[in-house]
A and B are shown apart, each in its own frame.
Chain A
């Protein structure tokens, strides 16, 4: 066993490699990106030629992983939570096909939306797709779970969903790792067409089978080594009394509960049930409810367990995010968990270790420092030019998209009016144009365009929609740290192939000296009644600096 200081994401990646992974398929998305990056750079992955190149989007990633599984090998799919919406179709149907080689779908949720547009909880996807779900509470558990998840996937012939959250993905801890990796699976032809061809007649049979499997999955969860408790409390044994408080803690929330309990109350009566494998093991929950007068559910994300435990009876004895003891939305903190537990256990805050030191310090001087586009970034020049031209029109609307350029909403540019999901800029501009809006401008990044913008552009071309599309191409997936972008050097060809007219397709270099040319082209294309595409193309200043530095250090 070797000790390594690993990010949660890195523990997942190394766990997968050591479990005999043959391919990781992913599109970058905070906080999941580092998993694939770790595998890309790992010597074992290079030696074994593990697939690790970035995919165009999460749907292509999930499907490629299914193909690898079909041939008997182990595949990992990684994404951020909203990426799950993009790959929902193959994900949900992967329960119907089942798997041959093990498949683990890792989703990194982002409660409190540090880098996201919503705080959806991926455990719901696991439940409605009838796919077993793992949720580690420590980096060590994340590492250990990967092998367990691949084994379980092959044992049950189902994919396994592994859910982490920001604080797990982006927190480091010392992890004990194995010295030797399991070999990769050999390719085989065991996949049965009757399972994989989801014609209704086949799919119905699979649906019956997977539905019937759920009882077994729940029993496995009840016996899982990752689900711990509830254990009898010594002081209650033989008294027949009930424990005042039961606590259900899942995933990372388990750590906050431990932190709060560590700081106090060796004499207090409580029982703790840790949940890290789903379907929710009802037996364990019932045991806890039977032993305790009240139960508090502490979980990161939406009240997934809490709603199942409360049911429709609105029991007064179940507390958590729905009843206000814990905040209804946002990320949990050690403070809010400690406060809720102290309240229930009748511990005064000043008696508890944590809050005794509570600082009363505060400063009124501090002001917000929002993120902003880098100095020297080409998106800045694009927005400067666009704003300059749009001043000339009465009610212009600019539909934005997901990426660094979303920061164009903030001062000094205040340039975009929407940002919804990957690719929505083009299709929303088209819909607005259908409604009679002019000028309707879409601004989308290069990687976002190939992820989900191309199909929308085809819609617009087919209807000769009166929109102006700006593909702000910085030759990389910049927001997540500069990963390769699927369409680099292909954008003109893609647009022409989709039917954009050559005379209304322009490539420009967004630099201050080119302002007159760029503003002229934007103006002309807004005035053209039809689809125009303008591609301002200049490398991301961050990747440019990084390459220059690497070149200086290593001139060869």
Chain B
């Protein structure tokens, strides 16, 4: 009866055949829209018949405090709702200091995809140059000013989807599949919203390394 617990831990072997696993920490400040990124990734993953677990934070911490969500996707059943320390493959952050908060969870070869613009709502926010230097020390970082790119390209409400576009390779789900998921998620809000988000996804993709 307990055989299920003896299945080997899924490993990440990339796309096309074999098993797939990606553990993602989504983070930011309450109200920045990390959960809609999670919704799109979740939709794409479910469509691929992958297993998903996504732990969210609700309630008091949403009021301008730090927020995070653990999103786990795998071709094998997932046990824990939470990601272990050193277990995350990707950190997607709407804010640069918040990206650093979850470093202990990132594995050694993991990626950080973060907005470079600070959200300063506390008096003791660290020096931005120090944050940039800290990020620069890490091997796999994409830091882009998503708010600015969104404004410059007339998609001001889709900054979070730009970040998702920039994270696409790191997540390992094919671009077309994420695009299709965006269509399904936003279809109820009309074609203009769908197109804005697909444009934002492409802008993010262009910023990938």
A residues apposed to B, CB below 8 Å? 3, 5, 7, 30-31, 33-34, 114-115, 167-168, 170-174, 228-229, 231, 252, 255-259, 261-263, 266, 271-272, 333-335, 338, 353-355, 357-359, 361-363, 365-374, 404, 407, 479-481, 553
Contact = CB atoms under 8 A, between A and B. Distances in A.
A372 B60 contact: no
B84 A171 contact: no
Contacts of B60: 30, 114-115, 371, 479
B2 A334 contact: no
B87 A357 contact: yes
Contact of B106 (A173, A333, A361): A361
A335 B105 CA distance: 10
Interface of B: 1-2, 4-9, 29-30, 42-43, 46, 51-66, 78-87, 97-98, 100-101, 103-108, 110, 121-122, 124-126, 130-131, 134, 138, 189
A258 B5 contact: yes
B64 A355 contact: no
B102 to A, nearest CB: 9
A170 B53 CA distance: 10
Given A173-B54, A361-B103, 19 more contacts: A3-B46, A30-B58, A114-B57, A172-B52, A173-B78, A256-B82, A259-B80, A262-B5, A334-B84, A338-B84, A354-B9, A354-B87, A355-B85, A357-B87, A369-B64, A371-B61, A371-B62, A373-B63, A374-B64
Contacts of B51: 173-174
Contacts of B7: 262
Contact of A262 (B43, B79, B134): B79
A370 B29 CA distance: 10
A410 to B, nearest CB: 10
Nearest to B71: A172
A347 B181 CA distance: 42
Contacts of A170: 55-58
Most chain B C-beta atoms within 10 Å of own C-beta, residue among A3, A34, A338, A357: A357
B5 A366 contact: no
Nearest to A272: B2
Given A261-B5, A361-B104, A367-B125, A407 B83 contact: no
A215 to B, nearest CB: 25
B131 A365 contact: yes
15 contacts: A30-B60, A33-B58, A115-B58, A171-B54, A172-B53, A229-B1, A258-B4, A266-B8, A334-B83, A362-B104, A365-B100, A366-B101, A369-B98, A369-B121, A369-B122
Most chain B C-beta atoms within 10 Å of own C-beta, residue among A31, A34, A335, A479: A335
B66 to A, nearest CB: 4
Contacts of A480: 59
B86 A355 contact: yes
A34 B105 CA distance: 28
Contacts of B54: 171-173
Given A170-B58, A359-B105, A407 B63 contact: yes
Nearest to B101: A366
Contacts of A228: 1-2
Contact of B121 (A7, A259, A353, A372): A372
A479 to B, nearest CB: 7
Contacts of A114: 57, 59-61
A33 B62 CA distance: 15
Contact of A255 (B66, B79, B107): B79
B45 to A, nearest CB: 9
Given A173-B53, A362-B104, A369-B122, A31 B65 contact: no
Contact of B56 (A171, A257, A258, A335): A171
A31 B58 contact: yes
A155 to B, nearest CB: 25
Contact of B126 (A171, A334, A365): A365
A332 B85 CA distance: 13
Contacts of B103: 359, 361-363
Contact of B59 (A3, A31, A167, A334): A31
Contacts of B29: 369
B9 A353 contact: yes
A354 B21 CA distance: 13
Contacts of B46: 3, 5, 174
